[in-house]
Homo-oligomer: A and B are copies of this chain.
Amino acid sequence: MAIRPAEQLIHKAAWLYYAHGLRQDEVANQLNISRASVAMYLRKARETGIVNISTSTQLFTDDVMARRLEDAFGLDAVWIAPENAYLADPSTDIAVLAASVFLELVKKGDRIGVAWGRTVYTIADIMSYADLQDVTVVQLCGNLGAPYSYRPDQCTMEIARRLNAKGLNFYAPLVLSTEALAQGLRAEPVIRDQLAGIADCDLALYSVGAVDADSHLVKCGALSAAEMAALRDEGAAGVIAGQIIDAAGEVLDCSYNRRVISAELASLRAIGKRLMVVQEDTKFEPLLSAIAGGLCTHLVVGAHMAGRLLQHAGTATKKAS
């Protein structure tokens, strides 16, 4: 493939079409190629992020409910995807919104931390392309070599690919069999540096996991369903970047957590913009815990979840008074 000329042509076509507003056939004879080629170049330009088409997410923050949620939980910004109003699949709607919000929050030169999960992978999957070469996407937690498609490193790499950014993967397993080994690995320079670099991120993207048999941790074999249930009894309330948190949003003191290679919650809290996206309604308590723990400054949820959160905030203040 003649790399340069093709790239140039794509760019020129995109420029004439999108910036100057010429029609495809005008572009075609301007560049002496067929209109069909122009159409193809333009598709490539969109897929490469040479042209960016973005839709304002205003509508979803300009909501009374969103404002009230921001106030009630002290969040910087909340976006609410109107459930079942638009489309068949509401979870797609949330992911599409989350992807737009994410792209709106990313700035040139940013360092972005990305965790892992079905939600994050869905977002990566539908995210449109952008051209942000000086952005770095870092993986927030170790890998899980699972039969599932949404592995931590895949989430990171896919998002990096979409942004034309640099991806920084974690070459360590998410969870080890002994605490000693985990400690040793964390002390390894390569790993230590990467863990230390997490606090320098400008933006984090993650979801929160539920503490049940459906959790990825169980499906991927990091924990058995029985262990999960036991942890739940010990106060586990949710999963963030592969770690178990309690209702207050702190790391639960348990063997599992001590064996995990992942971002420290303190590092996560040091990140300026922490974008949390929750699709499933079942993740109500985990989300509350994450918010309580200050793990989230920007939130994207569905309308139903938003309603439950507000209701909860209402009863909580009532109880308090």
| A interface residues (Cβ-Cβ under 8 A, vs B) | 8, 11-12, 14-16, 18-20, 30, 45, 49-56, 58-59, 86-87, 92-93, 96-97, 100, 107, 131
B131 and A58 form a contact (CB under 8 A): yes
Q: B residues within 8 A CB of A59?
A: 8, 11-12, 15
A86 and B16 form a contact (CB under 8 A): yes
A8-B59, A58-B11, A131-B58 as given contacts; A19 in contact with B52, CB under 8 Å:
no
A58-B11, A59-B8 as given contacts; A53 in contact with B18, CB under 8 Å:
yes
Give 10 A-B contacts (CB < 8 Å), ordered by A residue: A12-B59, A16-B86, A16-B87, A19-B97, A20-B93, A30-B86, A30-B87, A50-B58, A52-B53, A52-B56
State how many angstroms separate the Cβ of A293 from the closest Cβ of chain B. 28
List 4 additional contacts besides A12-B59, A18-B54; criterion CB under 8 Å: A30-B87, A50-B56, A51-B56, A52-B54
Q: B residues within 8 A CB of A11?
A: 56, 58-59
The chain B residue sitting closest to A20, CB to CB, is B96
A49 and B56 form a contact (CB under 8 A): yes
State how many angstroms separate the Cβ of A97 from the closest Cβ of chain B. 8
A55 to B14, CA, bound (A): 7
A12 and B56 form a contact (CB under 8 A): no
State how many angstroms separate the Cβ of A277 from the closest Cβ of chain B. 15
Q: B residues within 8 A CB of A53?
A: 18, 51-53
State how many angstroms separate the Cβ of A227 from the closest Cβ of chain B. 40
The chain B residue sitting closest to A14, CB to CB, is B55
State how many angstroms separate the Cβ of A47 from the closest Cβ of chain B. 13
A56-B131, A58-B131 as given contacts; A12 in contact with B86, CB under 8 Å:
yes
State how many angstroms separate the Cβ of A55 from the closest Cβ of chain B. 5
